[in-house]
């Protein structure tokens, strides 16, 4: 049984990645329905939390159904990170997670996210301070290194473990690597094989289905896997991965009735959490993924982008369900090749 601190998270946990503008409570709910073992919030600015900015405070919200859940924070100032960690702990999540992975310029250029990976002493000091500040287990999500000259995750992982983190998730790309380049899991495997490492090591990057999950598990020996892009419009991926790892078989692809049912749940929970107007607007980035692969879907996609009310959206979903009854879609994973067609918001590198 894999444990993060004292929290049991399964024999081989499958994690839903923290993704800006994606992994909000409604999306976490539908992924949890299909077996996500651990969920994470969108990443939250430490400065936003300590200023009690409304958007940052809103991101702290979660339900018990989503547990175990980690609140992920990021920032460049150690004192602010400590204060933010204590703030996050006050809402009683299960885990505090530190984002050392986001490479987006406006984050990394300030020395936050993966930008701190070129200052390992500060990275270690920040981690140690957060660990000391809270009673909850602290985990880290990071990358292989800052750039090609600094692929030092084996050293970094040891140092972070030594100051008290309880698990590490490693994304198989550098800060400078684009999502169109395949993830390199070699160093993730080296971290796991390091005899000094005793905390769980989770791998992330290009886990999109059962076969890819089996490959990474068997080849690199990690303790669990984190899924990001593979979950877009496909919360069923968690069920698929678990079934494939268990017996080598794939469950049937969800048909149009199942896709409409789950997307409707996602929509309804979004309306409850954000209000009708914002939910309708923000669901627009999900519709193409839920119905990816259906032939001649473009007219419906245009209409999904134009609907303005909850009642009209429910009516349109019913029309889509009737129209595509009995029609099989192409593979849901076609969309993942080359990192194309990401949801709107921050660039894709913060979602992998």
pLDDT digits (tens, 9 = 90+) for 224-260: 999 999 999 999 999 999 999 999 999 999 999 999 9
102 given a catalytic annotation: yes
Lowest mean pLDDT across 108-112, 196-200, 272-276: 108-112
pLDDT of residue 352: 54
Half-sphere exposure of 105 (CA within 13 A, CB side): 0
Asked if residue 80 lies in contact with residue 106, where contact means CB atoms within 8 angstroms, the answer is no
Q: How confident is the model at residue 346 (pLDDT cuts 50, 70, 90)?
A: very low
Q: What is the pLDDT of residue 164?
A: 98
Q: Which of 9, 16, 102, 207 is catalytic?
A: 102
Domains annotated on the chain, with CATH: 3-250 (3.20.20.70), 256-323 (1.10.1200.80)
Label residue 161 exposed, middle or buried (CB < 10 Å: 0-12, 13-18, 19+).
buried
Average pLDDT, the chain: 93
What percentage of the chain exceeds 90 in pLDDT? 87
SS3 224: strand
Q: Given a cut of 60, is residue 332 above it in pLDDT?
A: no
Average pLDDT rounded to a whole number, residues 125-129: 98
Flag whether pLDDT at 340 surpasses 60. Answer: no
pLDDT value at residue 345: 41
Q: In this prediction, what percent of the chain has a pLDDT beyond 70?
A: 94
pLDDT band at 178 (very low <50, low <70, confident <90, very high): confident
What's the confidence (pLDDT) of residue 335?
A: 42
DSSP one-letter code for 146: S
Burial 262-289 (b: 16+ CB within 10 A, else e): bbbebbebbbebbeeeebbebbebbbbb
pLDDT of residue 225: 98
Q: Is the dihedral of CA 189, 338, 18, 55 positive or negative?
A: positive
Report pLDDT for 109: 87
- List, in sequence order, every residue forming a beta bridge with 39; answer none if it has no partner: 69
What's the whole-number mean pLDDT along residues 313-327? Answer: 97
Residue of 46, 44, 51 whose CA lies nearest to 71: 44
pLDDT, tens only, 56-104? 999 999 999 999 999 999 999 999 999 999 999 999 999 999 999 988 8
Check pLDDT > 60 for residue 343: no
pLDDT at 351: 54
Q: Is the pLDDT of residue 342 over 50?
A: no
Residue 134 pLDDT more than 50? yes
Mean pLDDT of 18-29: 96
Mean pLDDT lowest among 192-206, 308-322, 326-340: 326-340
171-175, 251-255, 348-352: segment of lowest average pLDDT: 348-352
Q: Which two tokens stand for residue 275?
A: 């209000």
190 pLDDT exceeds 50? yes
- Residue pLDDT, tens place only, 281-304: 999 999 999 999 999 999 999 999
């Amino acid at each position: 049984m894999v444990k993060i601190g004292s929290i049991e998270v399964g024999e081989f946990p499958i994690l839903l990645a923290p993704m800006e503008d994606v992994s909000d409570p409604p999306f976490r709910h539908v992924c949890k329905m299909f077996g996500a073992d651990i969920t994470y919030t969108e990443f939250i600015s430490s400065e936003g939390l300590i200023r009690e900015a409304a958007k940052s405070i809103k991101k702290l919200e979660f339900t018990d159904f989503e547990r175990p859940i980690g609140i992920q924070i990021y920032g460049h100032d150690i004192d602010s990170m400590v204060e933010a960690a204590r703030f996050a702990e006050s809402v009683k999540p299960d885990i505090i997670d530190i984002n050392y992975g986001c490479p987006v310029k406006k984050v990394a250029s300030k020395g936050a996210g993966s930008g701190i990976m070129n200052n390992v002493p500060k990275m270690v000091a920040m981690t140690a301070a957060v660990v000391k500040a809270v009673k909850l287990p602290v985990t880290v999500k990071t990358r292989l290194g800052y750039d090609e000259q600094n692929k030092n995750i084996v050293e970094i992982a040891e140092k972070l473990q030594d100051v008290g983190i309880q698990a590490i998730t490693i994304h198989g790309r550098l800060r400078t690597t684009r999502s169109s380049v395949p993830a390199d899991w070699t160093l993730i495997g080296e971290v796991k094989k390091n005899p000094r490492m005793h905390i769980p090591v989770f791998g992330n990057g290009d886990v999109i289905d059962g076969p890819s999950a089996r490959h990474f598990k068997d080849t690199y020996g990690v303790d669990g896997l984190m899924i990001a892009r593979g979950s877009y419009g496909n919360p069923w991926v968690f069920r698929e991965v678990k079934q494939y790892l268990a017996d080598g078989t794939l469950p049937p692809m969800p048909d149009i009735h199942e896709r409409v049912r789950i997307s409707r749940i996602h929509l309804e929970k979004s309306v409850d959490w954000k209000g009708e107007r914002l939910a309708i607007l923000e669901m627009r980035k999900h519709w193409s993924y839920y119905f990816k692969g259906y032939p001649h879907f473009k007219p419906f996609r245009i209409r999904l982008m134009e609907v303005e009310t909850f009642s009209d959206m429910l009516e349109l979903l019913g029309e889509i369900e009737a129209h595509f009854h009995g029609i099989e879609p192409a593979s849901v994973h076609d969309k993942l090749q080359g990192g194309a067609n990401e949801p709107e918001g921050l660039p894709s590198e913060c979602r992998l």
